[in-house]
Structure 1
Amino acid sequence: MSAQSIECVGCHKPRLIVLIRHGESESNKDKTINQHTPNHLIPLTKRGWDQARQAGVELLKVLNIDDKDLAHKLESKYESKENLGDKLELSGYQRYDKKKDRHVVFYTSPYKRTRETLKGILDVFDEYNELNCGVKICNDDRYEPCGKNKLATWTPPRFPSGVYENSNVKESDLLELKNSEKHFIQYRVKDDPRIREQDFGNFQHISSMQDVMRKRSTYGHFFYRFQEGESAADVYDRVASFQETLFRYFEKTNKRPRDAIVLVTHGIYSRVFLMKWFRWTYEEFESFVNVPNGCMIVMEYNSESDRYELRTQLPKWC
């Protein structure tokens, strides 16, 4: 099935699909950490946390929200004195659908750096909801990347859900909102191992990895398979499986709405996701480089053409 030609009567496709690369990690800063720390346990740096909050602000700015001034207020609050890197420009972003974005579904790679990036994004969303609606989530009920609020919960007779929601707020606050013009942004979080980083093997020694990277440049980034790891072509298979899950979800009209789907993931995965979605050749994949840490890629749904249009200008090899 082509991602560009899904035909389903009455299905609800999200207005936006957004991919966000995690903020700067300790490995991005110092590769020697890979020699003794498992890849999935590498955390963000302080700069990475700043990039995560900046990503939360940038995401708010592309959503249809009640108060754009609040987004700019939060942008000023989280502006860093340190250079956080380049932002990717949007091209031709039209906002075809003018309805307010009230339901956002986040999928996150289970790696520590992506969960921490998501935490920074959601902290900004929680603050926006409090400023816009007066609805505050208690600290004990907020999403935690390595705490109880990201683990699966068992509610008999159901199986563990593994889903976090920001729905644990006072009913009186939500009832008051029904009589208000303000919109509370509801979000759900789902861990999905399929959107994890490309596997480069287990512990990685600097001297041997430098030689491996040179071989990959000669062999080709897409097909080169790391020993004890994956090639980008292997990642493509995971991407295909995940996208099929999304398509099936779009077709189920009885499911809860989603105005935007956000993947908090990794650089190579994002490129492979776009390759599969837009049916790029592997040569086209090879022409792009990873987006900078903390940057987002925006895909907007055009109901007239029944297609998603890539709104972000992607960086290429010089």
Structure 2
Amino acid sequence: MRIILLRHGQSLGNVDELAYCRIPDHALPLTETGEKQARTAGPVIRDLIGDGPVAAYVSPYRRTKRTFELLGLDAERIVTEPRVREQDWGNLQDPVQQEMLKHQRHAFGHFFFRLPNGESGADVDDRVAAFLDGLTVRMHEDEAHPKTVLVVSHGLTIRLLCRRLFDWSIDLFESLSNPDTCENRVLDHDGTGWKLDRPFDQWRDSPDGTVQLPL
């Protein structure tokens, strides 16, 4: 079994933080660069999928749906999956408040800090866990479900999905950087457990000494 995790292409919010003040997060479009990234990622993802069928689970945000469209994949199943959406920062954002919240979140910790009118990382972790539980059942018990899955999602959500799947500590999660836009990670099940193809970049060593990949 294989799960391919793909972050969306560059969005307007990645290059203009003030865009969140006038456009809801879920409606932010890809930039021209993001559209090119998604098209370029298409052959890479098709190569990772191989010849077999694939099921695609796509965040309902505009930038993730558009990224998936531009990949040019012929997926057997395409599911719009709200549980793999971005962390909710609330509605239209005030730039002064959001800058203050980012500093508070960094000091407090990205996992437990709850954004006013939004979510904490722990909230995202809970819904990602529910998604994984259901996906695991379908991949094991539904013979018609493809054994290769593509998840088109967001940076923090992808890190938390791996945190749940590999039982990483919160310290380790908070030490990891998001994948770049349109960057992927591949998870393979070898019959005994899931394996990650390569680690995420780290901006510091985990305070508790834990690591992403077994030594």
- Decide: shared fold, TM above 0.5: yes
* 2:161 aligned with 1:242: no
* 2:68 aligned with 1:63: no
CA deviation digits over 1:167-221, x for unaligned, max 9?
xxxxxxxxxxxxxxxxxxx532100111100001111121211111011111011
What residue number does 1:194 align with?
83
What residue number does 2:146 align with?
258
What residue number does 1:204 align with?
93
Q: Which runs of 5+ in 1 are unaligned?
A: 1-13, 65-100, 126-165, 167-185
Please, which of 54, 61, 67 is the counterpart of residue 117 of structure 1? 67
What residue number does 1:224 align with?
113
Distance in 2 (CA, whole Å) between partners of 1:211 and 1:257 is 45
8 Å CA contact 2:139, 2:147 repeated in 1: no
Q: Which runs of 5+ in 2 are unaligned?
A: 205-215
Amino acid in the other structure paired with 1:201: G
Please, which of 63, 87, 102 is the counterpart of residue 52 of structure 2? 102
What residue number does 1:287 align with?
175
Provide the secondary structure at the position in 1 that maps to 2:54. Answer: strand
What residue number does 2:160 align with?
272
Distance in 2 (CA, whole Å) between partners of 1:52 and 1:259 is 23
What residue number does 1:137 align with?
none
Matches within 5 A, 1:98-177: 101-121=51-71, 123=72, 125=73, 166=74
What residue number does 1:34 align with?
20
RMSD: 1.3
* 2:32 aligned with 1:43: no
Larger Rg: 1
Bigger relative CO (Cα 8 Å, ≥ 6 apart): 1
Structure 1 residue 59 displacement after superposition: 1.1
What residue number does 1:309 align with?
195
Structure 1 residue 317 displacement after superposition: 0.8
Provide the secondary structure at the position in 1 that maps to 2:76. Answer: strand
Please, which of 84, 98, 103 is the counterpart of residue 214 of structure 1? 103
Distance in 2 (CA, whole Å) between partners of 1:298 and 1:251 is 18
Distance in 2 (CA, whole Å) between partners of 1:248 and 1:236 is 19
8 Å CA contact 1:55, 1:296 repeated in 2: no
Distance in 2 (CA, whole Å) between partners of 1:307 and 1:217 is 33
Structure 1 residue 259 displacement after superposition: 3.2
Amino acid in the other structure paired with 1:299: L
Distance in 2 (CA, whole Å) between partners of 1:311 and 1:36 is 38
Structure 1 residue 301 displacement after superposition: 1.7
Structure 1 residue 226 displacement after superposition: 0.4
Provide the secondary structure at the position in 1 that maps to 2:110. Answer: coil
TM-score, scaled relative to structure 2: 0.91
TM-score, scaled relative to structure 1: 0.62
Structure 1 residue 243 displacement after superposition: 0.8
Structure 1 residue 250 displacement after superposition: 2.3
